[in-house]
Amino acid sequence: FALRLATSSDIESLVDIAHASFTEHFGRFHADPRIGHAAATRIYEEWIRSCATGWADWILVAEQGNRIAGYSAWKQPSALDRRHGIRIGHFNIAGVHPDFFGRGIFGALTREGMERLRSSVDWIEGPTHIDNHAVQRGWLRLGWQIAGAQHSFHKWLKS
C-alpha cells in the first residue's frame, strides 16, 4: 500500500471506512444504549468528515490499488497549547477497513504521522478506549507508553 495525504475527493471513502471499521466498535458511544448502535456509528462517520473539512490539520490515507484501506487524522499543537509552551501533537482518530486488517496499515499510518510531527512537537497524545487492545498493542510496538486512563460520562439532559 502507498501513503498519501487525503484530498477533498476522498471524503466519502473516508466516511465509508469509518462506517465499516466502527460498526462493530465497543467504545463510549456504542456503550450508551440511549445513543443506539446506528447513531453511535454515525458519530464516527461525522468525526472523520469533520476532520476532512477542517478539524484536523491533515489526514493520511493508506491506499491499495485505487482503494483507500485506512486513514489517520492529525493535529498540530493548538493555539492554547502553543500559548502555554506545550509542544504536543494530537493523533485524533484512525480507521482501517476490515478488509485490510492485519496488514500493518495502522502502524504505517502512525509512523508517518509521527514523522510529520517530529520537527514541531515534543510528544504526541492519542486517546483510545481502555479496552481497545489492538490499538494499544500497535502504539506500544511503536514506542508509545500508556500515560493514563480516563472514563467518559454521559448525562442526558432530557428524558
Number of structural domains found in the chain: 1
Tell me what pLDDT residue 99 has.
97
Domain hosting 60: range is 2-141
Residue 150 belongs to a domain? no
Task: List the one residue out of 61, 119, 112, 123 whose CA is nearest residue 89.
Answer: 123
Give a yes or no: residue 44 inside a domain: yes
The set of residues, in sequence order, having a beta carbon less than 8 Å from that of 103 and lying 6+ positions away, is 1, 69
Closest by Cα among 62, 58, 70, 57 to 3: 62
- Residue 55 domain-assigned? yes
Residue 28 lies in a domain: yes
Name the pTM for this structure: 0.92
| 158 domain-assigned | no
* CATH for 55: 3.40.630.30
Per-residue pLDDT of the chain (159 residues; tens, 9 = 90+): 999 999 999 999 999 999 999 998 888 899 999 999 999 999 999 999 999 999 999 999 999 999 999 999 999 999 999 999 999 999 999 999 999 999 999 999 999 999 999 999 999 999 888 888 888 898 899 999 989 888 888 899 987
